[in-house]
Structure 1
């Protein structure tokens, strides 16, 4: 397994160690996936050493998205978020899919966000993740005839460094709308990604699978019309 990283070699080393502890083999390789030349070098090296790419997981993180009203959002910030979200998947997919098509086999998993459904306060992030979801479906349609499946796992807010600043009230809000009663852990999302990447999921392609711990459904139940009228979803 190849663990790509851009700047945090220590975190990449931890991931490699975890994979090896679980009985796998892995190596960390540095490359900026938003740079076409570095992606070409990365993929060529993998193909030269291993002969093929069975699964590609596109999970590169970008800088924190700009939040706020559209009226005060500079184009440069908006464009930077779109580029950061899409450039890496574009270059990686274009290079890896060519090799998968030749073998007529492969799995691609894109990691997106349920922010694609958010309609206030995060126009750059929401637009970028919605674009990624559409990109994934387009790739799935184009690649299916070559035996390659492409799906997206859309993660909700999880217990990561990006949410470490959440106050207790926000954590409680998410916890009340979670099947686990808490923010999902990265491992919760990771297990779903592994499932989608497995051959057992071969019959599905072009799907956007929510990994939000039930947040969307439970929010409708707790905050939707039934709650406002004093009832709850599923009750007569």
Structure 2
């Protein structure tokens, strides 16, 4: 009887009975987070801004694998749409237990090129969007609720012409640090992940920009070996696994932290 009970416990999924919103989850890291959380038993809201076909493909994949998911459109730079996203999620599934704020935008630009419009565009999504989706979700989260925002290793690493983006991600780490005691009073944890280089379409588009011009002629393999202890980019599934840990009961005593998932950055 004891062996049977132990086997049954091991077979239980970590997030069974939970409902999760993952913003920006129609592709890349967000997509893999949605799939991974579903594998662990969560009902998933696949959020997208402008790619309904891709979002529905993610939903279809989750359902084919026995999970439950719904696609909901919302622009995370619009506070009114953020509130509608959370409201619709709760109306659909009757509760909310997990928020993973993944939506974000990349930016490279010299100091003299940065405009007020650039600043507003980057900070409205990377910072304000993450703050206000946290605010909206927190209205429904109860004790045991989990929030994971997305920072970046760029917040603590010098990269040429990356000032605006890095500043926006540093703000996210500051947010989780300072929201931790406030949400902790209600038994809710809030953390951030800081991914390193990850094999996504966004990374492919911007890979050369992360390399100093003096190193443009160095082979990609040589650069990876010189910069990353594990000598390779992360796979999106590996970032998703870290997020799954943070939203599970295994991370019940971790809050206010930014977890670097970077393969061991050397400098």
TM-score with structure 2 setting the length: 0.73
The verdict on how the C-alpha distance between 1:18 and 1:178 changes in structure 2, with shifts beyond 3 A counting, is farther
* Higher relative contact order (Cα pairs below 8 Å, separated by 6+ residues): 2
Larger CA deviation: 153-162 vs 73-82: 73-82
Whether the 8 Å CA contact 1:175–1:183 is kept in 2: the answer is no
Match of 1:151 among 185, 191, 212: 191
The verdict on how the C-alpha distance between 1:140 and 1:18 changes in structure 2, with shifts beyond 3 A counting, is farther
Pairwise mapping of residues 185-196 of structure 1 onto structure 2 (< 5 A)?
A: 185-196=235-246
Aligned position for 1:60: 103
Aligned position for 2:17: none
The verdict on how the C-alpha distance between 1:33 and 1:74 changes in structure 2, with shifts beyond 3 A counting, is closer
Runs of 4+ residues over 4 Å off in structure 1:
none
The verdict on how the C-alpha distance between 1:77 and 1:182 changes in structure 2, with shifts beyond 3 A counting, is same
Whether the 8 Å CA contact 1:143–1:149 is kept in 2: the answer is yes
CA RMSD of aligned residues (A): 1.9
Residues 30-52 of structure 1: CA deviation (Å, up to 9, x unaligned): 11122122222221122122221
Match of 1:47 among 87, 90, 96: 90
TM-score with structure 1 setting the length: 0.82
Q: Which runs of 5+ in 1 are unaligned?
A: 221-236
CA distance in 1, matches of 2:47, 2:223: 34
Q: Post-superposition shift, 1:2?
A: 0.5
Aligned position for 2:118: 77
Pairwise mapping of residues 32-181 of structure 1 onto structure 2 (< 5 A)?
A: 32-62=75-105, 64-68=106-110, 70-100=111-141, 103-119=142-158, 120-165=160-205, 166=207, 169-181=219-231
Question: Is 1:29 matched up with 2:48?
Answer: no
Q: Which runs of 5+ in 2 are unaligned?
A: 1-43, 209-217
